[in-house]
Structure 1
Amino acid sequence: MPRKNAFYAQSGGVTAVINASACGVIETARAHRADIGKVYAGRNGIIGALREDLIDTSKESAAAIHGLLSTPSGAFGSCRYKLKSLEENRAEYERLIEVFKAHNIGYFFYNGGGDSADTCLKISQLSETLGYPLQAIHVPKTIDNDLPLTDNCPGFGSVAKYVAISTKEAALDVASMCETSTKVFILEVMGRHAGWIAGAAGLAAEEEGDAPHIILFPEIAFNHKKFMARVQRTVKRFGYCVIVASEGAQYKDGTFLSESGVKDAFGHSQLGGLAPLLAGMIKDELGYKYHWAVADYLQRSARHIASQTDVDQAYALGKAAVEYALAGENAVMPCIERGKGKRYRWSIGKAPLDKVANVEKMMPRNYITRDGFGITEPARAYFAPLIMGEAYPDYRGGLPVYVKLKNHSVERKLKRRFKV
């Protein structure tokens, strides 16, 4: 009986270390050639499977695959495409099974966040219904750090490091000019419903008076009056004020401050423009000169300053996904478990997908100071180990060396094309 092949796909917004998970999956599969045939990747995520647009990773050298460890972005292309329920669009799921059958795929590894966990679970369930054996394993990834049942998510540690460093450096700039120039600096970071990224910026504050002076969390309702009073008080006391604002900052009724009214492919409200909005408020009411910045893609693609802990965990979870599949597991997600004690230790655990899909993990209230504008010591103890270690890529000519795969296409076997 021929060995079953594996299918791997990347989903949603990419990270500085999602390719490290891809490396973990592919290298581990190659080490088990007696059990797994080839690893095919979906070109542009799950869309590649629907279109039967597969990439043969066996055509890549061992050095190229290993180079993914230090390469940001999505090596095979990602997408924001959420499969609807079986009842709404059964044809999509049946198409996936049709493609998997045609290419003798028995292992499905989906590397993404909460929506991807949902897709992975649905595919696992349908394969059982249709009588086609398929082991579906979700590989966690999200800079938002909002997946449940895992201590943290690959991608987050590197973003946390980038944001904390950027806050520290920008604050030194503002402080040096605040006597005659900028009084307020605002950094807008990602985080729709959970303030983990904004909270990590708090690591930059090591002494009283250090930035960030104000952090805006989605978990804490925005109070205009309290916010303005805090800005004014901070400027009077320290000469300047640095604010880190999560894009998901919202009013008490749940309305986002920066909601545009547009929805993305996953049905989420499109956010953006919070920093200039806050800057305008401050200028109009307090008259302070300001500057603002949006970390945007820079925060999630900054492989040059990635956390070594993050890289190690991303690879380990990709490796564990293959090992779980070979052990007969299905519809599970390998996860990070934090050890007890003051010294940071972590290990790989396992979470059932029906407990992961469509569940968001918010910042605990005890991680946020009573006034709602900063982080507590428990939060600092949580964040600090995740940004530890520098995993610098190789440099050539003053620039980092990143791998670009050949991404050879697999010959199509199905006559029918599927429109996405």
Structure 2
Amino acid sequence: MPKKNAFYAQSGGVTAVINASACGVIETAREHRAHIGKVYAGRNGIIGALREELIDTSKESRKAIHGLLSTPSGAFGSCRHKMKSLEENRAEYERLIEVFEAHDIGYFFYNGGGDSADTCLKVSQLSESMGYPIQAIHVPKTIDNDLPLTDNCPGFGSVAKYVAVSTREAALDVASMCETSTKVFILEVMGRHAGWIAAAAGLAAQKEGDAPHIILFPEIAFNREKFLAKVKRTVKKYGYCVVVASEGAQYKDGTFLSESGLRDAFGHAQLGGLAPNLAQMVKDEFGYKYHWAVADYLQRAARHIASQTDVDQAYAVGKAAVEMAVAGKNAVMPCIVRSAGKRYNWSIGEAPLDKVANVEKMMPRNFISRDGFNITDAARTYLEPLIQGEAYPAYRHGMPQYVELKNTLVPKRLKRRFKV
């Protein structure tokens, strides 16, 4: 049986370590030349396949590909293009198969979250019915840490480390000035429906009274009176109060505190302005001087402080995806399995995509303190191993050195163009 080429694409918001997964895919595919021909990457994610804009990764040196291990963002470009259901837009899926067939692609590695897992599953199913079977393997990635059937998600550990460190450093700043200046500091972090990133801030605390004093989770309905009372008690007791708020904080009826009324490309409510809203709430009630910050892209781009565990796991799922494809697997996702016992160990397992797609994993209630404002020891036990180890990139003239690929496009073979 003649060997087929592979297609790899990055989806959704990028992370500090998604390129480590790309490195794992490409390096491992090069080791399996008897089964896999070239690895093509989608220019700007799945849009690259629909537009037939395929990057030939064989044009990149071994050194450049290995350099992806320490380079943040998406080396080939990503996108927020949600593939609709087969019933709604069968043409897009048929276009993918058309492009794959034109370039002799038999393997599809899609690196992303829940939506990309769903796309992977549908491509696997449709390609079979169209007579051109594609082995579709999902490579997990999301800073939100909300994919099911995996202990954690590559990308999360590094964000968790960044948020925990930033919370501790900002808290020291506020504590040193609280006598005559700022009383309340609010840090807004990502996390629409699941509070994993906000929870990671809890790792900043080492003893009673350490920040963060309040964490707001999407899983716990926001109560204005309880929140303000907690702020007042904290300022009275410690002189200042540090709040870490998940952007998805919401009222009991499900309305986001920061909902703008707009929608993003995935149809999700556009969020923004939570931190200043909370700060104004505190100002109006108590008159405290405040400062706020939004971690935004900084938290997911911070490769300079990435977790070594996260880098290792991101590479491992990329490597495993190729090995699963070579072994004949289809419609599966390599997942991270935590071993039992006090010492942290992990291995790679396998999850079926029909159990992964469109399922969100929320924070367990036993990870959140009884009052709903902090994490428990169980959460700390889960989170701490994921931020372990430093994976600093090489520095030159005081700045980290990152790889920039050539991203040479493959000549198009189809006459028909496809509008996305």
> Which bracket does the TM-score occupy, shorter chain normalised?
over 0.9
Provide TM-score, normalisation by structure 1.
Answer: 1.00
**Partner Cα separation in structure 1 for residue 91 and residue 220 of structure 2:** 42
The equivalent of 1:62 in structure 2 is 62
Summarize deviations over 1:353-384 as a string: whole Å, max 9, x none.
Answer: 00000000000000000000000000000000
The equivalent of 2:193 in structure 1 is 193
**Partner Cα separation in structure 1 for residue 272 and residue 145 of structure 2:** 19
Within 5 Å, which residues of 2 pair with 1:77-96? 77-96=77-96
The equivalent of 1:413 in structure 2 is 413
**Partner Cα separation in structure 2 for residue 183 and residue 168 of structure 1:** 16
The equivalent of 1:311 in structure 2 is 311
Displacement after TM superposition at 1:133 (Å): 1.6
**Partner Cα separation in structure 2 for residue 82 and residue 256 of structure 1:** 22
Displacement after TM superposition at 1:90 (Å): 0.8
**Partner Cα separation in structure 2 for residue 89 and residue 366 of structure 1:** 41
**Partner Cα separation in structure 2 for residue 250 and residue 321 of structure 1:** 37
Q: Percent identity?
A: 85
SS of equivalent to 2:335: strand
The equivalent of 1:266 in structure 2 is 266
1:369 aligns with 2:365: no
1:37 aligns with 2:31: no
The equivalent of 1:356 in structure 2 is 356
Displacement after TM superposition at 1:128 (Å): 1.0
Where structure 2 has 5 or more consecutive residues not aligned to the other structure, the ranges are: none
The equivalent of 2:286 in structure 1 is 286
**Partner Cα separation in structure 2 for residue 264 and residue 141 of structure 1:** 20
Within 5 Å, which residues of 2 pair with 1:135-214? 135-214=135-214
Aligned residue-pair number:
420
The equivalent of 1:15 in structure 2 is 15
**Partner Cα separation in structure 2 for residue 124 and residue 227 of structure 1:** 48
**Partner Cα separation in structure 1 for residue 267 and residue 331 of structure 2:** 24
The equivalent of 1:322 in structure 2 is 322
**Partner Cα separation in structure 2 for residue 166 and residue 329 of structure 1:** 41
Displacement after TM superposition at 1:129 (Å): 1.1
**Partner Cα separation in structure 2 for residue 318 and residue 182 of structure 1:** 45
The equivalent of 2:402 in structure 1 is 402
SS of equivalent to 2:95: helix
**Partner Cα separation in structure 1 for residue 367 and residue 2 of structure 2:** 52
SS of equivalent to 1:188: strand
Where structure 1 has 5 or more consecutive residues not aligned to the other structure, the ranges are: none
> What letter matches 2:411 in structure 1?
E
Displacement after TM superposition at 1:131 (Å): 1.2
Displacement after TM superposition at 1:2 (Å): 3.6
Summarize deviations over 1:183-213 as a string: whole Å, max 9, x none.
Answer: 0000000000000000000000110000000
Within 5 Å, which residues of 2 pair with 1:68-79? 68-79=68-79
> What letter matches 1:208 in structure 2?
E
> What letter matches 2:267 in structure 1?
G
SS of equivalent to 2:324: helix
**Partner Cα separation in structure 1 for residue 330 and residue 266 of structure 2:** 25
1:122 aligns with 2:125: no
> What letter matches 1:38 in structure 2?
K
The structure 1 segments of at least 4 consecutive aligned residues displaced by more than 4 Å after TM superposition are none
The equivalent of 1:248 in structure 2 is 248
The equivalent of 2:238 in structure 1 is 238
**Partner Cα separation in structure 2 for residue 377 and residue 148 of structure 1:** 22
**Partner Cα separation in structure 2 for residue 320 and residue 109 of structure 1:** 11
> What letter matches 1:346 in structure 2?
W
SS of equivalent to 2:82: coil
Provide TM-score, normalisation by structure 2.
Answer: 1.00
**Partner Cα separation in structure 1 for residue 380 and residue 261 of structure 2:** 35
Displacement after TM superposition at 1:34 (Å): 1.0
**Partner Cα separation in structure 2 for residue 204 and residue 94 of structure 1:** 49
Displacement after TM superposition at 1:404 (Å): 0.2
SS of equivalent to 2:40: strand
**Partner Cα separation in structure 2 for residue 187 and residue 306 of structure 1:** 20
1:296 aligns with 2:296: yes
**Partner Cα separation in structure 2 for residue 337 and residue 301 of structure 1:** 25
